Amino acid sequence: MNSPTPDNVRVFVADFLNRKLKDRGQGPLSEVPDDYDVLLSGVLDSLAFVEMMMAAGEHFAGEIDFESLDPEKMTVVGPLCIFVSEQLRKRQ
């Protein structure tokens, strides 16, 4: 198990998105920049986003407090990775 650094969370997020794309018969993302919005890009819907957050908790053996999540900001990769990393480190 990796430590939940922002970089490791980003690897996890990219992998999750690419698995979703593969399920739909689409190719992987060439890059996942900081300003990439996982929801507005259409790769995830809101339920799949929650699924990704729960999977991150399971992968890094931590917990994410959904209540403190700001939906307007947290679907953008840069802030998302920092938020998840902070949450998981707090609750590992």
Partner 1 sequence: MATPPRALWMGFMQSAERFPERTAVVVEGMSISYRQLRETAIRVAATIQRYQKDSWTPLTAVFAHRSATGFTGVLGTLLAGNGYVPLNRTFPVARTRLMLERSQCRSMIMDAASLPQLDALLDGDNRQLLLIAPDLEDPRCYRERWPQHIFVGSRDLEGHAAWREPTLASDAIAYLLFTSGSTGAPKGVMVTHRNVTSFVDYVADRLEFTERDIVSQMFDLTFDLSAFDIFVSWERGACVCCPSQKTLINPGQFIRGHALTVWFSVPSTVSLLKQSGLLKPGGFPSLRLSLFCGEPLPVSCAEAWLRAAPNSILENLYGPTELTIACTSYRWHPERSPGESELDIVPIGFPHRGMNVLVADESLNEVNPGAEGELLMNGPQMSLGYWRDSERTSSAFVVPPGRKDIFYRTGDRVRRPTGDGPLTHLGRIDSQVKILGHRVELGEVEAVVRQTSGRDGVVAIGWPATSSGYGGIEVFVEGQSLDVNRLRSAIASRLPDYMVPRRWHVLSRLPRNVNGKFDRKALLAILGDGQ
In the complex, which residues of this chain contact partner 1 (CB under 8 A)? 39-40, 42, 45-51, 53-55, 58, 65-67, 69, 71-72, 74-75
Residues comprising the chain, all counted? 92
Closest to partner 1 by CB, 34 or 66 = 66
User: In the complex with partner 1, which residue's Cβ is closer, 3 or 68?
Assistant: 68
On the 0-12 / 13-18 / 19+ scale of CB atoms within 10 A, 56 is buried
CA proximity to 36, closest of 21, 55, 23, 51: 21
| Distance of closest approach, residue 55 Cβ to partner 1, in angstroms | 5
